[in-house]
Chain A
Amino acid sequence: MDTAILVNLSYIASSILFIVGLKMLGSPDTARRGNFLSSSGMLLAVLITLLDQNIIDYRYIAGALIAGSIVGYFAATKVKMTSMPEMVAIFNGFGGIASLLVGSAEYVSGSFDSPAFLGAIFLTVLIGGMTFTGSLIAYGKLSEVISGKPYLYKGQQFVNGLLLIVIMIVGVNMLFIQSYISAEQTLMLLAFLAFLLGILFVIPIGGADMPVVIALLNSFSGLAACAAGFVILNNVLIVAGALVGASGLILTNIMCKAMNRSLANVLFSGFGAAPDTAAQSTEEQGEVKPITAQDAYLILEAASSVLIVPGYGMAVAQAQHAVRELGELLEDNGAEVKYAIHPVAGRMPGHMNVLLAEANVSYDVLVEPEDVNPIMETVDVCIVIGANDVVNPDAKDNEGSPIYGMPIIEVDNAKTVFVSKRSMASGFAGIQNPLFFKSNTRMLFGDAKETVSTLVSEFKG
């Protein structure tokens, strides 16, 4: 059989494996097999590509493949589950830079010069480049190498607008005019502008908005691969890239909806940068009632239904194992224990679910806000661990609040609420939380892990 036909048939098979694999990733029972199918599709695509007759020298391919695989292997097996958001961010970035390099390699080899081909290169370099630096900044923010605070400056929108205009000019020159500067200079200038765009795009976005950014960068890494597919006229890149692009966009949309904010608002508003003190009620909201772990234990011991609401604070304190232990002891004590997880809790989509899965919490006791809100009145005790804005009653009661309209977990409707918190400092959004002042709320001050461990030892008694 003709090699070209064999290669293309294999690419179709790969595409099918990607599609079925992604489909199976949608259900917990089949997800692992789905991931395996998808990786088989990748292996097939890579192996069949190695048969390509245009490949002259295999040494560099082999060296880079082996080196990259070793790095990927160690990164994937050594990473701590709490560092997963950074990990996903950096992998997105590597996908982006790889697509940029593929586009660049095709451009300097100069095999075509039609506007369609050049346009594909332009998009590959632009999207790939901004995915790369955007992911690096996201990585820096998530691992706290750089501040997670939104970075805003005067005239930010103007600078961004200007940058986009310059990129358009370079693009038009590259596609249609091809003068003033050489191909190499065009490429370097475009890559530089794309890198700059990625940086400027992520720095104004705060840590708690990272679930949106990671999902969006995920989408971009797919779109970059898709654009690269148009450069080398390869259908498997287009299919796989488009699938990833679409899935990333859907996740982005889910995250935005969970915050009741538009994508534009997340990207450009620098939410939480400078809390507008004037807009907040400065009046005394009431008394905060602290409680000791010993007293909290007595209430928990009598509870027959307990809802645990984890947030980013649980990840920071690495308290997930202690939380699982507490949950088990409560169950042994006869209580029904559920975990309510807000879609944007943590720093990436599904962050809390991964941490609790790591701690061996069964996924069928993890519930979503809309499942648990209607039955909140029947919950005896709600334990909020390191979550703040996602349980802020202002989101439904106070029209003046910046988070008004955001769907929350309505823990204030439970009979008793325990809030484990390090101090009275406000949450990421810089908003005061009236939950802490409610008559049914008791504050458990201190490190989340220590607090929960104390509760656990009280139970073990």
Chain B
Amino acid sequence: MESQIILLIFILVLSIFLGVELITKVPSTLHTPLMSGANAISGITLVGAILSSGSSETVTIALGTAAVFFASINVVGGYLVTNRMLGMFKKK
């Protein structure tokens, strides 16, 4: 358990550095799509929500199902709206 947590913290630290490197050089034209696209990724919590929603205890199912609902709005809406915005960015 403890060693697993350490490993996950290790992953966390590397991911943060990776995220900083990835995003630093984004032109301001793309700030909004970047934000909404990143927002859709944060809907990854859907994975946790699905696991809770599929459990056997009533309260866990209720909380998990509500989480699935909100997270899927976040994921589906986030990706679609980003795609819609990016479709408008054109160069002559």
Contacts and interface: CB of A to CB of B under 8 A. Distances in A.
A35 B37 CA distance: 7
Given A19-B18, A72-B76, A240-B41, 5 more contacts: A39-B79, A64-B72, A87-B77, A95-B45, A363-B89
B67 A102 contact: yes
A77 to B, nearest CB: 6
A358 to B, nearest CB: 5
B73 A72 contact: yes
B81 A55 contact: no
Interface residues of A, number: 112
Contacts of B33: 25, 31, 35, 350, 354
Given A25-B30, A58-B54, A234-B48, A36 B83 contact: yes
Interface in A220-249: 221-222, 224-226, 228-249
Interface of B: 1-2, 4-5, 8, 11-12, 15-20, 22-57, 59-61, 63-92
A27 B28 CA distance: 10
Contacts of B45: 95, 98-99, 102, 224-225, 228, 237, 241
B84 A76 contact: yes
B70 A94 contact: yes
Contact of B23 (A26, A237, A362): A26
B20 A250 contact: yes
Interface of A: 18-19, 21-23, 25-28, 31-32, 34-36, 38-39, 42, 45-46, 49-50, 52, 54-58, 60-61, 63-65, 67-69, 71-73, 75-77, 79, 81, 84, 87-88, 91-92, 94-95, 97-99, 101-102, 104-106, 108-109, 112, 114, 116, 214-215, 218, 221-222, 224-226, 228-251, 254, 341, 343, 348-351, 353-354, 357-358, 360, 362-364, 366, 368
A343 B67 CA distance: 34
Interface of B, secondary structure class, is helix
B41 A26 contact: no
Contacts of A54: 51, 54-55
12 contacts: A42-B46, A87-B81, A88-B36, A95-B71, A108-B57, A242-B18, A247-B23, A250-B23, A348-B35, A358-B88, A360-B88, A362-B91
B68 to A, nearest CB: 4
A116 B91 CA distance: 50
B44 A246 contact: no
